[in-house]
Amino acid sequence: MQKFDRLTGVAAPMNIINIDTDMIIPKQFLKTIKRSGLGANLFDEMRFTKDGAEIPDFVLNREPYRKTEIIVAGDNFGCGSSREHAPWALLDFGVRCVISTSFADIFYNNCFKNGILPIAVSADDRDALLADAQDTENPELSIDLETQTIRRPNGGEISFEIDPFRKKCLLEGLDDIGLTLEKSVSIDSFESARGADQPWL
């Protein structure tokens, strides 16, 4: 998993409440178990017409948001069905951070397992960041996970909270497999000892 320490990138304003996982990646694109390729269909029904043409008004179809790495969203981001394809699609598009006032639990957990940082802030701070993102002349935000701060274009900073264990995993690029492999010496030792003590297993 790719490490997350610092990120400076274009922030897209998506002031929509209850953005669910079917909006993030519609159900017809869930046939694959590959993590790549899903970015093309991120927010598919919001980005494209049924004929595949871009919907000009949608934020990710406009400059400078075509290269968005951060999304500033309305309340309750990632609600709906539990599909890991949602963070896969965001990551494949290039999104490494989502900022909202609240997240659905399963989506929130899946983000950390895929190298995406979900940041929960107050409504006032979210509204300030939305205003920053809406400024097409300078919509960049800077995220520093080590110091747990968001730097705004005006130089101001917003602090955020994060679970220390999840922070460690992102900083070190550790998903569930990576965490298990950290214990490989102990696992090998246990298997060798058990093989010697219980050879019939």
Q: What is the pLDDT at residue 4? A: 96
DSSP β-bridge partners for residue 118: 98
Q: What is the pLDDT at residue 183? A: 60
Ranges of each domain in the chain? 6-197
Other CB atoms closer than 10 Å to residue 158's CB: what's the count?
A: 19
Other CB atoms closer than 10 Å to residue 106's CB: what's the count?
A: 17
Which CATH code is given to the segment(s) 6-197? 3.20.19.10
pLDDT tens digits for range 160-189: 999 999 999 999 998 766 666 656 677 667
β-strand 117-120 against 97-100: which pairing, if any? Answer: parallel
40-76 burial code (b ≥16 CB/10 A, e <16): ebbbbebbbeeeeeeeeebbbbeeebeebbbbbbbbb
Q: What is the pLDDT at residue 182? A: 58
pLDDT tens digits for range 17-70: 999 999 999 999 988 888 889 999 999 999 999 999 999 999 999 999 999 999
Residue for token pair 């298990």: 180
Q: What is the pLDDT at residue 180? A: 62
Q: What is the pLDDT at residue 35? A: 81
pLDDT tens digits for range 26-37: 999 988 888 889
Mean pLDDT of the chain: 92
Residues across the chain: 201
Between residues 125 and 194, the one the model is more confident about:
125
Amino acid in the structure at residue 130: L
Between residues 187 and 90, the one the model is more confident about:
90
Is-contact 68 9, C-beta < 8 A? yes
